[in-house]
Amino acid sequence: MLVPSAALANGRYPLAQQLLVDPSDPAHLFLRSTYGVLSTTDTGATWSWLCESGIGYDPGEDPMMAILGDGSVLAGASTGLFVTRDRGCSWPKDATISQRFVRDLAPESDGVHALALTVLVRGDGHYDTGIWRSPDHAATWAALPKMTADSVLPFTLDPAPSDLQRIYVTGAVFPDTNDAGAASSGDGPGALFRSKDGGATWEQRLISGTSRQSAPFIAKVHPTDPDTLFVRVRGEWNGTDKVESWLLYSNDAGETWRELFRANADMLGFAIAPDGSVLLGMGDTRDVLRPVDTSVLGIYRGSPPDFAF
């Protein structure tokens, strides 16, 4: 009698989440998934698997990843920043960023500089947000000036490809009081933070209709216009209806916003095509707390100026 061996599973629905293409070698790809990271050196003909602990993060995490011009790959986790320079064989932890939770990573358009967005939860329950910049392929990092006196739970960070002095950050804002747990238990309004001088000074603009629970994420800063950006909003689930996601557009650096698209699914992909049109990928994360309308899943295309998707 033949008895099959036990099958082991990672625990989450197997989803591909983020694809990185090595600028120094287009055949070299990294794919973050719900069960670790896959890598290929032959444009996907064969793949190797890296488990979560082999990189440094815990199962169940979805670390933001980035790849720089020299092929260095960065993984930002709840316990810090991990970097590989040998195609995934080793992932030493960055000592400067240390134990901070890395919420987002963004290479700058030169492929050499990089930005990291971090947060620490203070003893009073408020958030200590930090922005870091590396001038040397993530070899060293230096902190930029603090964005605001308030407590900010950060979500995303992106530099403008056409202007290295322009940086955008989104987050939820809470009054920086001494009330224990006020920020960690509240639902502060969503906001955009912008710097036009490389992070030396910052301006804050609230984003109407967004909050900690309906979080605004930067989808893309326009490749040639630093004042134009797209923000996707991950609407919270009310416990009954399908979830909603919507896309906001600003062509004045976040002073005003226009809603372009809304649907009952998660916006899992975004791209700007060479002709200026926008592509949206509406998907299903298979999260029982985020039910979607499967009839709206797919790829949508809209062209300026009306963006009729």
203 domain residue, yes or no: yes
Q: Is residue 267 part of a domain?
A: yes
Task: Report CA-CA distances (Å) from 184 to 37, 85, 105, 303.
Answer: 30, 36, 23, 39
Strand 80-84 relative to strand 101-107: parallel, antiparallel, unpaired?
unpaired
Residue 18 lies in a domain: yes
The model's pLDDT over 201-223, given as tens digits with 9 standing for 90+, comes to 999 999 999 999 999 999 999 99
Q: DSSP state, 274?
A: T
Is residue 3 a part of any domain in this protein? no
Whether residue 124 is found in the same domain as residue 196 = yes
Domain end point (choices 65, 92, 119) = 92
Mean pLDDT of 281-285: 96
Max CA separation in the chain (angstroms) = 72
Both 185 and 297 in one domain: the answer is yes
> Do 116 and 261 fall within a single domain?
yes
Determine what percent of the chain is predicted with pLDDT higher than 90.
85
7: which residues sit within 8 A by CB, 6+ positions away? Answer: none
CA angle 208–213–214, rounded 5-degree value: 45
What CATH number is associated with residue 297? 2.120.10.10
Residue 132 inside a domain? The answer is: yes
163-174 and 189-195 strand pairing: antiparallel
Residue 5 belongs to a domain: no
| Mean pLDDT for the chain overall | 92
Cα 256 from chain centre: 22
Statement: residue 289 has pLDDT above 60: yes
User: Could you tell me if 86 and 98 lie in one domain?
Assistant: no
Residue 194 in this model has a pLDDT that exceeds 50: yes
For 177-205, what is the mean pLDDT?
A: 83
Q: Are residues 61 and 156 in the same domain?
A: no
Please give the DSSP secondary-structure letter assigned to residue 295. G
Position 109 in a domain: yes
pLDDT recorded at residue 9: 56
Residue type, 36: G
For 54, phi and psi rounded to 5 degrees? -70, -25
Q: Name, in order, each residue with C-beta under 8 angstroms of 197's C-beta and a sequence gap of 6 or more.
A: 165
Predicted pLDDT of residue 179: 58
**Listing from the earlier edge strand, what are the strands of the sheet with 266-272?**
266-272, 278-283, 298-302
Task: State whether 250 and 280 are in the same domain.
Answer: yes
Task: Give the pairing type, strands 163-174 and 151-160.
Answer: antiparallel
The CA-atom distances, in angstroms, between 96 and each of 32, 123, 143, 208 are 24, 21, 9, 35
Q: Residue 181 pLDDT > 60, yes or no?
A: no
> What pLDDT sits at residue 186?
73
The pLDDT tens digits of the residues spanning 89-122 come to 999 999 999 999 999 999 999 999 999 999 998 8
Q: What is the band of 180 on the pLDDT scale with cuts at 50, 70, 90?
A: low
Asked if residue 112 and residue 65 are part of one domain, the reply reads: no
Residue 71 has pLDDT above 60, yes or no: yes
Virtual torsion, Cα 141, 19, 13, 264, nearest 10 deg: 100
User: Do 176 and 243 share a structural domain?
Assistant: yes
Position 7 pLDDT exceeds 50: no
Q: Is the pLDDT of residue 8 over 60?
A: no
On the question of pLDDT at 288 being above 50, the answer is yes
Q: Do the domain assignments include residue 6?
A: no
Select from 40, 63, 92 the last residue of a domain. Answer: 92
How far, in Å, CA of 153 to CA of 252, rounded? 24
Alpha helices in the chain (DSSP H): 52-55, 182-185
Both 190 and 247 in one domain: the answer is yes
pTM: 0.92
Asked whether 29 and 5 are in contact (CB, 8 A), the reply is no
User: Rounded CA gap, 21 and 30, in Å?
Assistant: 7
- The domain total for the chain is 2
Read off the pLDDT of each residue in 38-43 and give the average, rounded to a whole number: 96
Q: Which domain holds residue 243?
A: 94-302
Q: Which of 92, 113, 138 is the last residue of a domain?
A: 92
Which DSSP string do the residues of 91-154 spell out, in sequence order?
A: -PBPTTTTT-EEEEEEE-TTSS-EEEEEEEE-TTS-EEEEEEEESSTTS--EEPPPS-SSEEEE
Cβ neighbours, 10 Å, residue 111? 16
For residue 257, the tally of other CB atoms under 10 A from its CB is 20
Q: Return the closest-CA partner of residue 132 out of 149, 148, 151, 145.
A: 145
Distance (Å, whole) CA 103 – CA 94: 15
Looking at the structure, tell me whether residues 185 and 87 fall in a common domain.
Answer: no
Tell me: the pLDDT tens digits for 236-279? 999 999 999 999 999 999 999 999 999 999 999 999 999 999 99
Confidence of residue 124 (pLDDT cuts 50, 70, 90): confident
Same domain, 110 and 23: no
pLDDT at 78 over 60: yes
Q: Are residues 135 and 280 in the same domain?
A: yes
